[in-house]
Amino acid sequence: MATVMQKIKDIEDEMARTQKNKATAHHLGLLKAKLAKLRRELLTPTSKGGGGAGEGFDVTKSGDARVGLVGFPSVGKSTLLNKLTGTFSEVAAYEFTTLTCIPGVIMYKGAKIQLLDLPGIIEGAKDGKGRGRQVISTARTCNVILIVLDAIKPITHKRLIEKELEGFGIRLNKTPPNLTFRKKEKGGINFTSTVTNTHLDLETVKAICSEYRIHNADVSLRYDATADDLIDVIEGSRIYTPCIYVVNKIDQITLEELEILDKLPHYCPISAHLEWNLDGLLEKIWEYLDLVRIYTKPKGLNPDYEDPVIVSSKKKTVEDFCFRIHKDMVKQFKYALVWGSSVKHKPQRVGKTKSPSPQPGVPCASLNKNTTGSCSLDLRGGGVEPESGKRVRGWLAGAPEPAVKPQSWCPSGRAPPPPSSCCDKEQARSTEMVPWEGYVSDETMGTFAPIVLYWVYAGGYQLILHRRPLERYRLHTRVEEEEKNLVSLPAVVRGVLLQQLVQAIIAMILFMVTSDSSVTVVQPPIVIQIFQFLIAMLVMDSWQYFVHRYMHQNKFLYRHIHSQHHRLIIPYAIGALYNHPLEGLLLDTLGGAISFLVSGMTPRTAVFFFCFAVLKTVDDHCGLWLPYNIFQNLFQNNTAYHDIHHQLQGTKYNYSQPFFSIWDRILGTHMPYNLVSRKEGGFEARPLRD
């Protein structure tokens, strides 16, 4: 043990002496890998003597979730446990009053939350000092960690405790690194990345892998990862735990200091002794636990709101629901009956894998176990809080509602209403007045109107994209856009103009070939035109899906043609038609010509169709999730749907464009997503499967 500790100290000293720059990045990455291996050896329990975690640490996990109190001695952990749970934990004015793990239970919103008062840790706890390894190993089993800090010196304590927990493989308020590491039998180290890397290169990756005696592996990065991120993935023993920094004894600081602390992320100022802001702390714990309350429903009666079943929001299928009631219930399960907005029929029979609601923010639900082994789920979009008796607004109590709930998340199962009126039976001729009548032909208008509309609509989006009030509607931050995109805005503008010039020339030629100026074109009834619109949309969707998909599958076409469009990893409106000119001809010009011919529409109808297609294409690339956007509400193939396609390079999903997602669903390339609000503002489209 002493030898391992000495090696760790030597490596830490060498890292402290080494300057951090590009020239030393390779060497530092190797040292970090060695350090991680030594710490794993130090933390791995041995089979020699001693046996067990020690008295007071063998606490059985109970309740719906576990929360641990971690902090230095004499910061008020025991006082906080006593106030929140009513459990007695000895309190005194000297350090190390608590020497064992004291459990308590919080009853909050129908959930039983186990709260652990852990002994105070000291600097060097990760190396075994002061029973620190036992304390931190218990903290690893918690769903949420409360780091209790003294308001007199919160930042100093925070940094020291974070260092101890990080050394034991606990990552606080972080998500697992978005990189893929897969061992293989041969082929060496294959390193790929979809973004520019400032921390890792092939040599550094090889050095880290060689330290773990890994010589054949595929490493794929989807963000600018560090050497620590790669080591965490290789180690595979890291846990990512939500954490709340509880600043205690705020009665001993000034209001100015309290205002500063209140602005920091993940902080909750309290005074356990005076019981200040304990309700706010409980609400924050509930938010970080991310639990879902589901109520049992006696057959033929209203749901029982007194005793809910608590499940994690990550495990909210019918099977998870039944397992929480009794494990034998899953074996006897036949089907469930579901009511509510998540199903088309009321009730609807579903299986084990059905989620009670597909929308983000799960509504309160209820279930009944029948004698036949079936279940009844009642999803009425709302529930009653047991404590207050007040009605919840249809979403999980204790979790913030999304700032915007796009209608595409909540399909109603109804088709759009038909038009309220029809045109006259008498056909309208092409000589009817339209704004361009007598100035330009329908063919010319069909060629240049979409181009003009493109720059007006996309230019408007580009102007509002950088308005500060609209930052809360962005799918990606401005910094992320600047860092990830591989082409500048002026280059995008030049590329779009070149493509549109080529397309305009070809479109005019096609119109001249397919049109006859000596024939008077008769406009069909409006109902027929709507039908032609739908046919043209389906034809264009089919053409663009298969051409688009083949461009991804054919390496030559992707490398030399389609990759130009994917240089905009973060799409924006003006870049909607930033393609290779040949791709513009294949996808847009030829696809538009085929849809025009197959649908049988007139050139005048085609003007409106091509303008509509351009508006839809620009909207799909705008990068904003605006409220009341008609395209996002009417079409599932929308901004967020296509953003998934741009973000998941290398995975083959969401090829459909520009209108529907029919072919994606039929051919198995459909990637569903969950639109969630980011803490810093805006939204994020997250894929729902790997």
pLDDT in tens, 338-351: 655 556 655 567 77
Q: Can you give the pLDDT at residue 404? A: 33
Phi, psi of 583 (to 5 degrees): -65, -40
Pairing of strands 179-183, 217-221: antiparallel
Q: State the pLDDT confidence band at 250, using cuts at 50, 70 and 90.
A: very high
Q: Are 659 and 676 in contact (CB under 8 A)?
A: no
Distance CA 436, CA 593 (A): 22
378 CB contacts (<8 Å, ≥6 apart)?
297, 303, 339, 340, 365, 366, 367, 368
Judge contact between 29 and 20, C-beta under 8 A: no
pLDDT of residue 534: 93
**What is the sign of the dihedral through the CA atoms of 52, 53, 55 and 56?**
negative
Domains and CATH numbers, the chain: 2-41+177-237 (no CATH), 65-175+241-288 (3.40.50.300), 291-401 (3.10.20.30), 440-687 (no CATH)
φ/ψ of residue 79, rounded to 5: -60, -40
Task: Name which of 294, 293, 170, 164 is nearest 239 in CA terms.
Answer: 170
Positive or negative CA dihedral for 512, 515, 516, 517? negative
Q: 524-575: per-residue pLDDT in tens?
A: 888 999 999 999 999 999 999 999 999 888 889 888 888 888 888 888 888 8
> Strand, coil or helix: what is 670?
coil
pLDDT digits (tens, 9 = 90+) for 480-515: 888 888 889 899 999 999 988 988 888 888 777 766
Q: Which of 563, 573, 576 is nearest to 486 (CA)?
A: 563
Strands 170-172, 239-241: pairing is parallel
Whether 307 shows a pLDDT value over 70: the answer reads yes
C-alpha radius of gyration, the chain, whole number: 31
Chain mean pLDDT for the chain: 77
Helix, strand, coil share (%) of the chain residues, nearest 5: 45, 15, 40
Q: Tell how strand 65-71 and strand 144-150 pair up.
A: parallel
- Tell whether the model's pLDDT for residue 311 goes beyond 50: yes
Task: Please report which confidence band the pLDDT of residue 279 belongs to, taking 50, 70 and 90 as the band edges.
Answer: very high
In this predicted structure, what is the pLDDT of residue 475? 85
pTM above 0.85, yes or no: no
Backbone phi, then psi, for 411, in 5-degree steps? -65, 135
What is residue 361's predicted lDDT score, i.e. its pLDDT? 35
CA atoms within 13 A on the CB side of 67: 33
Which of 219-257 are b and which e, b meaning 16 or more Cβ less than 10 Å from the residue's Cβ?
A: bbbbeebbbbbbbbbbeeebeebbbbbbbbbbeebeeeb
Output the pLDDT for position 338.
64
Across 200-226, average pLDDT? 90
Alpha carbon 643 to its chain's center: 12
């039983």: which residue's tokens?
Answer: 112
- Give me the helices (H) in 466-563, please: 478-484, 489-514, 526-553, 555-560
* CB-based contact 642:548 (threshold 8 Å): no
Residue 501 makes CB contacts below 8 A (sequence gap 6+) with none
Q: Alpha-carbon distance 526 to 524, whole Å? A: 6
- Residues shown for the chain: 690
Q: Which amino acid is located at 467 in the chain?
A: R
Tell me if 623 sits within 8 A of 572, measured CB to CB.
yes
| Residue (of 32, 404, 16, 386) closest to 200 by Cα position | 32
Is 90 exceeded by the pLDDT of residue 23?
A: no
Q: Show the tokens assigned to 322.
A: 């039944």
Among the listed ranges 230-244, 258-272, 436-450, 629-643, which one has the minimum average pLDDT value?
Answer: 436-450
Instruction: Measure Cα distances from 329 to 291, 307, 568, 680 in Å.
Output: 22, 18, 50, 42
SS3 604: helix
Amino acid, res. 466: H
What tokens were used for 304? 């029982």
Tokens standing for residue 658: 């520009």
Cα–Cα distance between 648 and 429 in angstroms, integer?
Answer: 48
User: Using 50, 70 and 90 to split pLDDT, how confident is the model at 378?
Assistant: very low
pLDDT score for 408 = 27
Question: What integer pLDDT is reported at residue 188 of this predicted model?
Answer: 92
Q: 19, exposed or middle or buried, with CB in 10 Å at 0-12, 13-18, 19+?
A: exposed
- What b-and-e string marks burial along 320-348, b requiring 16 or more CB atoms within 10 Å of the CB? bbbbbeeeebbeebebbbbbbbbbeeeeb
- In angstroms, the Cα distances linking 276 to 126, 143, 256, 261 are 32, 24, 17, 15
**What is the maximum alpha-carbon separation in the chain?**
102
Lowest mean pLDDT among 111-115, 213-217, 366-370: 366-370
Per-residue model confidence (pLDDT) at position 345: 56
Residue 492: alpha-carbon gap to chain centroid: 28
Residue at 47: amino acid letter: S
Strand partners, 577: none
pLDDT digits (tens, 9 = 90+) for 39-55: 666 555 544 444 444 44
DSSP string, 581-599: HHHIIIIIIHHHHHHHHHH
Pairing of strands 673-677, 683-687: antiparallel
* Mutual angle of helices 227-235 and 202-211, in 10-degree steps: 30
Of 234 and 294, the structure prediction assigns the larger pLDDT to 234
Using the predicted structure, report yes or no on whether residue 593 has a pLDDT greater than 80: yes
Q: Residue 485: what pLDDT?
A: 86
Q: What is the Cα–Cα distance from 586 to 572, expressed in whole angstroms?
A: 22
Tell me what pLDDT residue 183 has: 92
- CA 499 to CA 561: how far, in whole Å? 13
pLDDT of residue 389: 32
Whole-number Å distance between alpha carbons of 549 and 562: 10
Would you state the pLDDT for residue 355? 63
Cβ neighbours, 10 Å, residue 690: 7
Per-residue model confidence (pLDDT) at position 497: 92
The 10s digit of each residue's pLDDT in 619-641 is 888 888 888 888 887 888 888 88
Helix 590-599 × helix 603-620 angle, to 10°: 130
Q: What is d(CA 101, CA 89) in angstroms, rounded to the nearest whole number?
A: 10
Rounded to the nearest 5°, which phi and psi values hold at 293?
-95, 130
Question: What is the reported pLDDT for 108?
Answer: 92
